[in-house]
Amino acid sequence: MNDINPYGGGEPPVYKPFPVSWEELHRYSKALAWRLIERGPWSGLIAITRGGMVPAAIIARELDLRVIDTLCVASYEEMAQGELQILKDVKQDVGDGERWLIVDDLVDTGKTARAVRDRLPKAHFATVYAKPAGRPLVDTFVTEVSQDTWILFPWDTEPQAVAPIAKAATRPR
Look at strands 124-130 and 140-144 and give their pairing. Answer: parallel
Catalytic residue among 108, 139, 148, 156: 108
Q: Which of 3, 64, 96, 105 is catalytic?
A: 105
pLDDT tens-digit profile of 123-132? 999 999 999 9
Structure confidence at residue 23 (pLDDT): 97
Q: Which of 134, 135, 143, 123 is nearest to 46 (CA)?
A: 123
* 150-88-119 Cα angle (round to 5): 80
The better pLDDT of the pair 25, 84 is held by: 25
Q: Which residues are annotated as a binding site for xanthine?
A: 108, 151
Confidence of residue 43 (pLDDT cuts 50, 70, 90): very high
Query: For this structure, is 104 an active site residue?
Result: yes
For residue 9, is it left (φ>0), alpha (ψ between -120 and 50) or beta?
left
Contact 79, 109 (CB under 8 A): no
Task: Please tell me which residue in 69, 89, 93, 104 is annotated as part of the active site.
Answer: 104
Contact 103, 55 (CB under 8 A): yes
Write down the pLDDT at residue 91: 87
Q: Three-state SS for 113?
A: helix
Q: Is the pLDDT of residue 2 over 50?
A: no
Query: For the chain, which residues make up each domain, given as ranges?
Result: 16-154
Annotated binding-site residue numbers for Mg(2+): 105
- Residue 162, SS3? coil
Q: Which of 48, 50, 35, 92 is nearest to 67 (CA)?
A: 92
Choose among 20, 29, 10: nearest CA to 142.
Answer: 29
- The architecture (CATH level 2) of 16-154 comes to 3-Layer(aba) Sandwich (3.40)
On average, the pLDDT of the chain sits at 88
Predicted local distance difference test score (pLDDT) of residue 1 = 39
Q: If pLDDT is split at 50, 70 and 90, which confidence band does 166 have? A: confident
Percent of the chain with pLDDT over 90: 70
Binding-site residue ranges for 5-phospho-alpha-D-ribose 1-diphosphate = 50-51, 104-112
Feature table: binding site: 50-51, 104-112, 150-151
Q: Which of 113, 112, 115 is nearest to 136 (CA)?
A: 113
89 noted as active-site residue = no
Q: What is the pLDDT of residues 50-85, one digit of tens each?
A: 999 999 999 999 999 999 999 999 876 655 566 888
User: How much is the pTM?
Assistant: 0.82
Residue 134 reports pLDDT greater than 90: yes
